[in-house]
Amino acid sequence: MLLNEESNFGRIPKKINSFVTNAFKYVKTNNLNSNESMMFFIKDLHLTEHEANILYHNYKNIDEEFMVLDYESLIGRPMEWVGKYRYTTEVPATIYGRAYVPATVDILATSKEDAKEKIKNTVDVSDFVEDDNYEPCDGWTDFDSPEIVYDMVDDMLYDLDINDINDGDINLMV
């Protein structure tokens, strides 16, 4: 059944009755907040979330408007329907993140093996430079000037195993 104000109060009556006044009294007497009230309606009274929303909405509006002490005087008063609606849209967001970007370091070495050894033991993190040919990912056009996180590069070099350096990653420049 479609949830709308004309047709679906669930098991909640369209007018306040003794069941509703007893629920209101319990919430008031125990000074329950909105979450506690909803849990009471759902778990103890076995109402659906929709029914609990209607009941709490009416309790809150009546209690705030009239500061009711005698809930029995409300019997027969119409209940106001309320439903849950969802609005979906796009909103602006700022995203910060950490990524791995191409960076290079030039090393003077006698062989690839010597270069690997120097990368592990003598390269300083400040020797790394960002790759000038870096192309940002599609959709990330504002991410065109990444900054190298040198403290992480230092940790990376410390933990580096020479065997993890691929020969293809080391190219003879001249």
Digit-by-digit pLDDT tens for the chain (174 residues) are: 344 445 688 899 999 999 999 999 999 999 999 999 999 999 999 999 999 999 999 998 887 766 767 788 889 999 988 887 765 554 454 445 666 666 677 766 667 777 777 777 876 666 666 555 555 555 454 555 556 677 777 777 777 777 777 776 767 554
The CA distances from residue 11 to 23, 25, 36, 95, 123, in Å, are 14, 19, 20, 45, 74
- Domain ranges in the chain are 18-74, 103-169
Where does residue 120 rank: exposed (0-12), middle (13-18), buried (19+ CB within 10 A)? Answer: middle
Instruction: Give the pTM.
Output: 0.50
Tokens of 74: 């409300």
Instruction: Check residue 15 and report its DSSP letter.
Output: B
**R_g of the chain computed on alpha carbons:** 33
